[in-house]
């Protein structure tokens, strides 16, 4: 029996990749992880200034990264953009459906370990249709449209990797998070399983990464406050908050041949926070 080079399992060199919401936070972490290993990555994001800054920074580092201003709620534009990228790369190996927005406060303010008075704007009777619908439109419908656009190429190729960003908040109720966010993430997780079952016959895998408390700009960047991080670290069994870099390894796993027999799975990355 010939020797097996297990290092090749995680190879993504030359792969064509799309990351929605890729100009900051967790999405940018995915971009850095894959482009750093030789993938050709296109960022879709609504923020032109961040796209310009991050694409410029990554290209200066010698990475093959491009960017396009795109709102995932514009499904027609999303499909056109996915088609264009797939044509440009002459392949579409991995798509990360990551774009999402914060839904604002839940019915309690603050996080575990803080004073947590009621937040009137987050209580059910004051939760507006506009707030609910906007979060569902981005965090659930945008994910659906991204997966649909990717599947049209990957079914023809009979290969591909689709990765959704869900959340620990789709499994566990956190009163500081708005209900729409938790509902959308829970819905995205089950949609991931539906898509995984449907696309398996075509050699396409669909999985999800469910972060816990990760330091990003979402929600106004509250997670970047030292005091918030200290309080959260006391509630997390591993004793610290998470960073986008903590998701790099799993992103590479799901985008590469290393996960070729894994589909329909949601893996939580939370430092043990969800354990209790």
Catalytically annotated residues: 181
Chain centroid, CA 273 distance in Å: 19
Residues in a beta bridge with 165: 209
Q: Which residues contact 188 (CB under 8 A, 6 or more apart)?
A: 97, 139, 140, 143, 164, 166, 170, 208
Compute the distance between CA of residue 276 and CA of residue 272 in angstroms, rounded to an integer. 8
Are 34 and 17 spatial neighbours (Cβ–Cβ below 8 Å)?
yes
Are 151 and 199 spatial neighbours (Cβ–Cβ below 8 Å)?
yes
Q: What is the CA radius of gyration of the chain?
A: 18
């Amino acid at each position: 029996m010939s020797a097996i080079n297990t290092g090749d399992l995680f190879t993504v060199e030359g792969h064509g990749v799309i990351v929605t919401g890729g100009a900051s936070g967790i999405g940018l972490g995915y971009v850095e992880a894959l482009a750093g290993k030789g993938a050709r990555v296109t960022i879709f994001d609504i923020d032109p200034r961040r796209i310009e800054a991050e694409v410029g920074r990554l290209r200066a580092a010698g990475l093959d990264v491009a960017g396009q201003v795109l709102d995932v709620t514009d499904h027609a534009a999303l499909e056109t953009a996915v088609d264009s990228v797939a044509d440009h790369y002459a392949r579409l190996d991995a798509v990360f459906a990551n774009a999402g927005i914060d839904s604002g406060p839940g019915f309690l303010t603050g996080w575990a370990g803080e004073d947590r008075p009621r937040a009137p704007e987050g209580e059910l009777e004051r939760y507006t249709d506009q707030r609910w619908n906007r979060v569902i439109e981005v965090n659930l419908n945008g994910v659906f449209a991204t997966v649909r656009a990717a599947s049209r190429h990957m079914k023809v190729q009979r290969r591909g990797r689709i990765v959704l960003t869900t959340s620990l908040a789709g499994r566990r109720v956190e009163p500081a998070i708005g209900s729409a966010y938790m509902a959308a993430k829970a819905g995205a997780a089950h949609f991931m399983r539906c898509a995984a079952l449907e696309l398996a016959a075509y050699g396409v895998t669909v999985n999800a990464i469910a972060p816990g408390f990760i330091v990003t700009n979402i929600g106004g960047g509250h997670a970047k406050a030292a005091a918030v991080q200290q309080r959260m670290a006391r509630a997390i069994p591993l004793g610290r908050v998470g960073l986008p870099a903590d998701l790099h390894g799993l992103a590479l796993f799901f985008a590469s041949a290393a996960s070729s027999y894994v589909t329909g799975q949601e893996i939580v990355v939370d430092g043990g926070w969800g354990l209790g």
